[in-house]
Amino acid sequence: MTHSISTAPFIINEPDGTHSMCVLVDGIRCAGCIANIERTLKEQADIVSARVNFSTRRLKIIWRGGANLADTWVSLVQGLGFRTMPYDPAVSEAADTREEKFLLKCLAVAGFASGNLMLFSIPLWTSDSVEMTAATRSMFQWVQAFIAMPAIIYCGLPFYKSAWAALKEYRTNMDVPISVAVVLATAMSLFETYNHGEHAYFDSGVMLLFFLLIGRYLDARARGQARSAAKDLLHMMQGFATVLHSDGRHERVALGNIETGMILVVAAGEKIGADGEVITGVSEIDTSLITGETLPQTAIVGSKLFAGTLNIAAPLTMRVTQNADQSLLAEIIRLMETAEQSQAKYVTIADQISSWYTPAVHALAAITFLGWLWFGGAPWQVALLYAATVLIITCPCALGLAVPVVQVLATGKLMRMGVLIKSGSALERLATITHVVLDKTGTLTLGHPELVDAAQYSQSQLQLAASVAVHSKHPLSRAVCRAYSGALLPVEHVQEIAGQGLQAGYNGHTIRLGKAGWSGAADVVHVNDHALELWLYDGDTAPLRFAFTDALREDAAQVVQKLQSSGLTLTMLSGDRPKAVNVAAQAVGITNALAHVSPVEKSQYLQTLAHNGAHVLMVGDGLNDAPSLAAAQVSMSPASAADIAQNAADIVFQGDKFAPVYTTWRIAKFSQVLVKQNFALAMLYNIVAIPLAMAGYVTPIIAAIAMSSSSIIVVLNALRLNIYEAK
């Protein structure tokens, strides 16, 4: 977005007369960005404070003076090259953060309580009735009860609530045996303490909660991060358009409120807000995000315009012909929603395991209780105590840590590599793929044309071309500018003539950069290689031809090969011309390539694949890919993609390379290996511990050692992810 939207609803008036506002800032990468933003703002006299939160990419500004200064601050930040979006912190950080903070508090209390309990547990474990008198033992147990009771009531809340919610609907989940175990163990320990019994399990109960809360907290954090990544994108997407009223007034209107018949003013470089047709002006429209076509289309009076495309050359006014909810964009969003609904619901591995683990644990505890009561001849208190130890021992400490620890490590590792995970189960779904479907423009290619063989031109030729081209946003002009990095010439009277090219004056000559016929190249031999071209006429010598191609990402062929040799089936689906698609497919080595595929056909193709049992990863960047991104089992899109495609994708990767697709897949696969190993370790531990618990051999010290050692082993195993390198 090149200009600000209304900031008024986001300004908070502080009691001391200052104003504050929170802004999402896209594009903060390093210390330099923080310094840049903060310094620029603090140089302004009215700014009280400006602070960037680097972790969340958010900026908080506090200032004196009028509330209307907000727009000034936003445009200052935008002037530095960052995309911004004001947001309301109260709405944005409500539920997720509160849950995360509550879990962290529970974790702190559980940690404090289990540490203090150990002070008393160790003397109890290591002494007998000779070394420590019964009175002292009893006092220690009462002190333990005093520490443990509040901790168990407070820290258990997340589990009790979830277990209660499940039981109310006649279901069970992992939290049911956890709650039963903790409550039962505590009650039995109180009973034992009161009757001067030998074993109290206060420490086991609290320690169990402590380990489980670690897993719970990490899980909430990973999900919270994924959700906020998704939400940030949504914030960025809410767009506005400028409406021209019949009395000549301009007004910024949210895209959702645009109606048929309104007149919109679209500045050069602005996104078109609605479907409609041009009333005045001539310009070029970049439709690559909708159609996958690389070259812009010329728009003249009467041309049809589509929402989501980009006006690159000159200002236009247009009449809206479709309400926002009937536009092509809305149509694509509807397609996306149907695709999402038809997608089979994915059951995570943790849910699969808990679906049979919970009943199994309950059954084992019941067998222990009844077995001791009927056949073991034990009094009911003892039988109940043994049943409680079975629940405590089987309670999935290690199981609860197995997935979240791996997930947090994998997400963090990928984030450092510029890969953003937007959905909690994305990595798990990615690990099982069999097919990869790729878009061409913007996905395998960079999505913008590059000058072919720049070395064949002299520096002075490039300098002249770049000096003119720098005045235009046309993709070919920008490609010329990228190919030249030196000082520019002072050209004058630059004019952009839509559909033709650029014209400028320099040293008394008229310079033209544009189409062949217009730049005086009609009589020069026509080169017929289907490449995109620009001709430079300096008013003196023969016109010079610049050829362009939408270059492949430099490692595209290599990555495609790696994916294919790993046993994945690759398909290319593109909306572009067959010729361009075939050239690209051959260059990267994909045999199955389809051209001229519409968004609907793309999404149908994916549904057919899924129907035939394939697990598909879709990689795409355009608006036309959005429905198929939603339909695929898992999807990725580059950070340069259309906002809506990034929203639909589960994973977003940054940079000009294609390698993140391969690396992310490898890391996802390795994470799943680790998760399965962790489950196996947890099971192995249960196989050893359950018979001991059922036989009544598990004393508090054994429970404590078993619980902490299995948790530590699982965490250590997960940490192997940090030294893993995807080859």
Partner 1 sequence: MNILVYLIPIAFTLGFAGLAAFFWAMKNDQFEDLDGAAQRILHDDE
- Taking the C-alpha atoms of residue 492 and residue 603, their distance in angstroms, rounded to an integer, is 49
Which of 79-87, 108-116, 159-167, 558-566 is the region at the interface with partner 1 (rule: CB under 8 A)? 108-116
Q: Nearer Cβ to partner 1, position 26 or 601?
A: 26
The residue within the footprint of partner 1, chosen from 30, 45, 91, 455 (CB under 8 A), is: 30
Q: How far is the CB of 668 from partner 1 (least distance, A)?
A: 24
**Is 160 among the residues that bind partner 1 (CB under 8 A)?**
no
Residues 111/113/114/119 CA torsion (nearest 10 deg): 130
Q: Whole-number minimum distance, CB 703 to partner 1, in Å?
A: 22
Question: Which lies closer to partner 1 via its Cβ, residue 101 or residue 596?
Answer: 101
Establish if 109 lies at the interface with partner 1 (CB under 8 A): yes
CA-CA-CA-CA torsion for 554, 558, 562, 565, nearest 10 degrees? 150
Comparing CB distances to partner 1, the nearer of 38 and 555 is 38
How far is it, in rounded angstroms, from Cα 285 to Cα 265?
A: 14
Phi, psi of 477 (to 5 degrees): -60, -45
Q: Hey, what amino acid is at 265? A: V
Residues belonging to the chain: 727
With tokens 């051959």, the residue in question is 586
Q: Which stretch binds partner 1 (CB under 8 A): 107-115, 204-212, 519-527, 643-651?
A: 107-115
Which of the ranges 33-41, 188-196, 481-489, 531-539 carries the binding residues for partner 1, by CB under 8 A?
33-41
Count interface residues toward partner 1 (CB under 8 A): 21
Beta strands 419-421; 283-286: pairing state? unpaired
Q: Which residues contact 444 (CB under 8 A, 6 or more apart)?
A: 438, 552, 553, 556, 560, 572, 584, 588, 658
- Among 4, 116, 633, 647, indicate the residue that binds partner 1 (CB under 8 A): 116
Distance separating alpha carbons of residues 650 and 639, to the nearest angstrom: 12
Taking Cα atoms as reference points, which of 701, 692, 706 lies closest to residue 125? 701
Q: Is 35 a binder of partner 1 (CB under 8 A)?
A: yes
Among 2, 49, 68, 136, binds partner 1 (CB under 8 A): 136
CB of 108 to partner 1, least distance (A): 5
Q: Does 582 bind partner 1 (CB under 8 A)?
A: no
Does residue 94 bind partner 1 (CB under 8 A)? no
Q: Which of residues 41-80 bind partner 1 (CB under 8 A)?
A: 52-56
Phi/psi at 250 (nearest 5 deg)? Answer: -100, 140
By annotation, the residues acting in catalysis are: 439
Q: Which of 64, 94, 115, 554 binds partner 1 (CB under 8 A)?
A: 115
Least distance between partner 1 and beta carbon 104 (Å):
7
Q: Does 31 bind partner 1 (CB under 8 A)?
A: yes
Buried b (16+ CB within 10 A) or exposed e, 261-300: ebbbbbebebbbbbbbebeebbbbbbbbbbbbbbebbebe
We find the least distance from the C-beta atom of residue 143 to partner 1, in angstroms, to be 7
Q: Is 119 in the site for partner 1 (CB under 8 A)?
A: yes
In the complex, the smallest distance separating the C-beta of residue 56 from partner 1, rounded to whole angstroms, is: 7
Q: In the complex with partner 1, which residue's Cβ is closer, 108 or 366?
A: 108
Q: Is 34 in the site for partner 1 (CB under 8 A)?
A: yes
The one among 18, 40, 112, 639 contacting partner 1 by CB under 8 A = 112
Q: DSSP letters of 531-548?
A: -EEEEEE-SSS--EEEEE
Cβ of residue 324: shortest distance to partner 1, in angstroms? 37
Is residue 676 within 8 Å of residue 657, measured between CB atoms?
A: no
229 versus 390: smaller Cβ distance to partner 1: 229
Nearer to partner 1, 124 or 178 (CB): 124
| CA of residue 21 relative to chain centroid, distance | 25
Which among 30-38, 237-245, 532-540, 693-701 is the span making contact with partner 1, rule CB under 8 A? 30-38
Q: Does 20 bind partner 1 (CB under 8 A)?
A: no
Q: Whole-angstrom Cα distance, residue 75 to residue 81?
A: 10
Tokens 């929170």 appear where? Answer: 22
Choose among 597, 636, 596, 599: nearest CA to 616. 636
Q: Tokens 């099971």 label which residue?
A: 683
Pick left, alpha or beta for residue 170 (phi over 0 → left; psi -120 to 50 → alpha; otherwise beta).
left
Q: Least distance to partner 1 from the beta carbon of 626, Å? A: 31
Q: Which of 62, 104, 532, 692 binds partner 1 (CB under 8 A)?
A: 104
Which backbone phi and psi does 436 adopt, to 5 degrees? -125, 125
In the complex, which residues of this chain contact partner 1 (CB under 8 A)? 30-31, 34-35, 39, 52-56, 101, 104-105, 108-109, 112, 115-116, 119, 136, 143
